[in-house]
């Protein structure tokens, strides 16, 4: 698994996205000296990088809903499949002790869900191989600004990077290639995926700072019946969850090389747009402590593996099927391959001309 070096984390305005001012300032370190990607391309030595990404991750529902062994070995069943040059996940909960500021109030309002894992669980993410977590989602601030700051502190303490705050471009250097990762969501404090002008400008800025741009987006309505991607805006519980197709195409037009979707809590199809892969939703990857549903198709997910050159050329990909076991731990679905079958079927239904071709072995190819 390739190491990463933090180059720049931007100047996000929301103070809750920093552990402390001193800690935030201390994270920037110089890039490793060497040829730029452009120089390598001119010399014919273009690097290839492999990214791996997962869907929604909830490890516990503290204090009562903890996974077996307090989460030790939580990702052991999928760690080898996650290993790549840059491993990313969507952390769908804060890592914090009880801040006394649950979004659901005290006692919790009916139908409202606030989840948290102990700060020490950042170590489980690290042990699983994760290197960068997306926090642009509807649960990152379940325990308020203090809980969000505690999450940042926990991630930084474990040596993990994060993205998701407004105007935050997280840039890491992998094998000498600068990779920018930006998180979008329809929530305050995040980059607004419904503001396409800002999204376009932010991605363009990221492209000036990095060789490759990866966009993580919490988009689309959620639930077992929301696994199809259709043109137009999607709403859920009164929230405008964006127009996933329009947003994804917009950021690719602006320079994004890969778009990874979250939010629906089910798998969705994949398409290629101008040679760039869009995975509209990777599903429920981890749901320890009775957090994410294991009913029906909600328990199926997968690991997306994508290889591309430093100039953004897609060279290959694979979908590794997983499911939530009885404890909510991510587990390889070697026998059923339900996730792969779902993604393939949904892709054929929703993207007849632009859909990715999903092979029986999980390989992902552009349409002919």
- Domains annotated on the chain, with CATH: 4-365 (3.60.21.10)
pLDDT band of residue 20 (cuts 50, 70, 90) is very low
Q: How many residues does the chain have?
A: 368
Give the tens place of pLDDT for each residue, 146-164.
Answer: 999 999 999 999 999 999 9
**pTM for the complete prediction?**
0.90
pLDDT of residue 24: 33
Element (H, E) at 144: helix 144-157
Please tell me whether residue 117 adopts helix, strand or coil conformation.
strand
Spatial distance between the Cα atoms of 13 and 178, rounded to a whole number of angstroms: 23
Give the tens place of pLDDT for each residue, 133-147.
Answer: 999 998 888 888 899
pLDDT of residue 11: 44
Give the tens place of pLDDT for each residue, 192-251.
Answer: 999 999 999 999 999 999 999 999 999 999 999 999 999 999 999 999 999 999 999 999
Please tell me whether residue 38 adopts helix, strand or coil conformation.
helix
CB distance 23 to 15 below 8 Å? no
Bond into 107 cis (ω within 30): yes
Please report where in the chains the tokens 């649950």 appear, as a residue: 102
Structure tokens at 335: 């026998």
Question: At residue 294, does pLDDT exceed 80?
Answer: yes
Q: Tell me what the pLDDT averaged over the chain comes to.
A: 89
Spatial distance between the Cα atoms of 280 and 273, rounded to a whole number of angstroms: 12
pLDDT of residue 115: 86
CB distance 302 to 260 below 8 Å? no
**Can you list the positions of beta strands (E) in 106-251?**
132-134, 161-163, 170-174, 177-185, 191-192, 212-218, 235-236, 239-240
Find the radius of gyration of the CA atoms of the chain.
Answer: 19
Closest CA to 292 of 321, 261, 330: 330
% of the chain residues with pLDDT over 90: 75
């Amino acid at each position: 698994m390739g190491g990463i070096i933090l180059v720049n984390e931007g100047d996000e305005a929301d103070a809750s996205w920093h552990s402390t001012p001193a800690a935030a300032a201390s994270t920037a370190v110089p890039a490793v000296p060497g040829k730029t990607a452009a120089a390598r391309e001119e010399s014919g030595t273009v690097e290839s990088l492999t990214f791996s990404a997962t869907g929604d991750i909830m490890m516990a529902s503290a204090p009562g809903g903890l996974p077996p062994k307090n989460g030790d070995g939580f990702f052991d069943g999928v760690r080898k499949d996650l290993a790549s040059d840059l491993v990313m996940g969507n952390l769908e909960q804060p890592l914090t002790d009880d801040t006394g500021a649950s979004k659901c109030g005290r006692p919790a309002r009916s139908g409202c869900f606030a989840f948290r894992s102990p700060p020490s669980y950042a170590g489980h993410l690290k042990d699983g191989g994760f290197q960068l977590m997306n926090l642009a989602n509807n649960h990152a601030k379940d325990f308020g600004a203090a809980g969000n700051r505690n999450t940042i502190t926990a991630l930084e303490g474990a040596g993990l990077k994060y993205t998701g705050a407004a105007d935050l471009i997280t840039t890491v250097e992998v094998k000498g290639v600068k990779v920018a990762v930006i998180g979008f969501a329809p929530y305050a404090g995040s980059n607004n995926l419904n503001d396409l002008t800002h999204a376009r400008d932010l991605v363009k800025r990221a492209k000036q700072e990095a060789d490759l741009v990866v966009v993580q987006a919490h988009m689309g309505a959620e639930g077992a019946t929301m696994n199809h991607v259709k043109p137009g805006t999607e709403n859920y519980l009164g929230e405008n969850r964006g127009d996933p197709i329009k947003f994804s195409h917009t950021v690719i037009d602006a320079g994004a090389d890969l778009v990874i979707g979250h939010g629906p809590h089910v798998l969705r199809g994949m398409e290629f747009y101008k040679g760039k892969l869009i995975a509209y939703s990777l599903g429920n990857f981890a749901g320890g402590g009775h957090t994410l549903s294991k009913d029906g198709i909600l328990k199926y997910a997968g690991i997306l593996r994508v290889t591309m050159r430093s100039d953004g050329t897609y060279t290959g990909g694979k979908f590794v099927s997983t499911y939530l076991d009885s404890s909510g731990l991510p587990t390889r679905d070697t026998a059923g391959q339900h996730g792969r079958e779902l993604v393939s079927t949904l892709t054929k239904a929703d993207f007849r001309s632009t859909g990715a071709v999903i092979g029986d072995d999980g390989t992902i190819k552009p349409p002919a």
